[in-house]
Structure 1
Amino acid sequence: MQHSLSRLVAILHRNHAMYVNRVLKPWNITSGEVGFLMTLYQEEGRTQEQLSSILSIDKAAATRALTSLQDKGYIQRRVNEQDKRCKCIYLTQKAKELRQVITTQVRTWNSKAANLIGESTYDQLCLSLETILSNEKAE
């Protein structure tokens, strides 16, 4: 029997999105927004284009997610001092205060998956998927 990687990844993605939507519902943060927060927790001051590229999300979807986060008071846009045409994205105090909660909730899902199949298998699976993705981007 041949397995369909794309089908399994799509189902896994939907399950993960439902989990994130459920656990972050008290803070009104959706699965489409959490990636932006997680990326900004690593480094603030990135442009919308940079975030879009890092997350492999089209610009329209990035605009919607960032506008929603701004409306909810989680991010703010500031004019880039080096290039006045660009706006950089920064976390608000509200978002910073939730960093531990959000990070823990997102990582819990990954930890459950790693525990289910074993840490080394989980790491190898992630490396294999990254290899496939980097090859697809190169083509």
Structure 2
Amino acid sequence: MDYRNASRWFGILNRRSQAYIVKACEPLDITFSEYVLILNLYDHEGVSQEDMAGLMFVDKAVVARTIKSLEMKGYVRRVQGKVDKRIKRIYTTEKGNEQEEFLRNVVCRWIDFLSEGLDSKTVEIVLQGFHYLSQKAYSADLDKI
């Protein structure tokens, strides 16, 4: 199998996916980073800022800035931990919850567009493959590869 073009294909998919998400979220004034964070938050309501950084594979400072921006826009709120006051937990606001269906459907519309013309079995195989690859990437010890 020829792997030479794989990085190019991944790059195209990544850049065009980001561009689509940014365009689709313009009416809500939500950036790509904010989109990724709020989608993770829908699935992990009440997560700590530190744990969110781990979920997103980004620096804690990036998460803090993104949360601050989403707070200013009224989509999320931070709550000090009850047991450990140093921990800040993140929750969606009513405004954030009102946008959940729209935001979740952004990626669905993109995948529907990308997979147009493919049979449903092929789409399922590709999605399972991406899931498998992301799991491998998540657990990879980069120093050993």
> Structure 1 runs of 4+ off > 6 angstroms?
none
1:86, CA displacement in angstroms?
Answer: 0.7
Is the counterpart of residue 125 in structure 1 residue 126 in structure 2? Answer: no
Q: Give the distance between the partners of 2:138 and 2:39, measured in 1 at CA.
A: 21
Distance 1:33 1:127, change over 3 A: same
Q: Give the distance between the partners of 1:110 and 1:57, measured in 2 at CA.
A: 24
Q: Give the distance between the partners of 1:131 and 1:41, measured in 2 at CA.
A: 20
> Aligned-pair RMSD on alpha carbons?
2.0
Distance 1:83 1:3, change over 3 A: same
Find the residue that maps to 1:46 and give its secondary structure: coil
TM-score, length of structure 2 as denominator length: 0.84
Q: Give the distance between the partners of 2:141 and 2:110, measured in 1 at CA.
A: 27
1:7, CA displacement in angstroms?
Answer: 2.9
Residue-pair matches, total: 139
TM-score, length of structure 1 as denominator length: 0.87
1:33 paired residue number: 34
Distance 1:127 1:46, change over 3 A: closer
2:90 paired residue number: 89
1:43 paired residue number: 44
1:4, CA displacement in angstroms?
Answer: 3.5
- Segment drifting more, 104-113 vs 81-90: 104-113
Identity of aligned residues (%): 28
**Could you list the per-position Cα deviations for residues 90-139 of structure 1 after superposition, in whole angstroms to 9, with x for gaps in the alignment?**
10100001111111112211233344543233124314422540452474
**8 Å Cα contact 1:44/1:91 also seen in 2:** yes
**Could you list the per-position Cα deviations for residues 27-78 of structure 1 after superposition, in whole angstroms to 9, with x for gaps in the alignment?**
0011111111111111211011111101111222212211111111111100
Alignment of 1:1-139 (within 5 A): 2-117=3-118, 118-137=122-141, 139=144
**8 Å Cα contact 1:24/1:30 also seen in 2:** yes
Q: Which has the higher helix share?
A: 1
Q: Give the distance between the partners of 2:60 and 2:117, measured in 1 at CA.
A: 35
Q: Which runs of 5+ in 2 are unaligned?
A: none
Distance 1:131 1:40, change over 3 A: closer
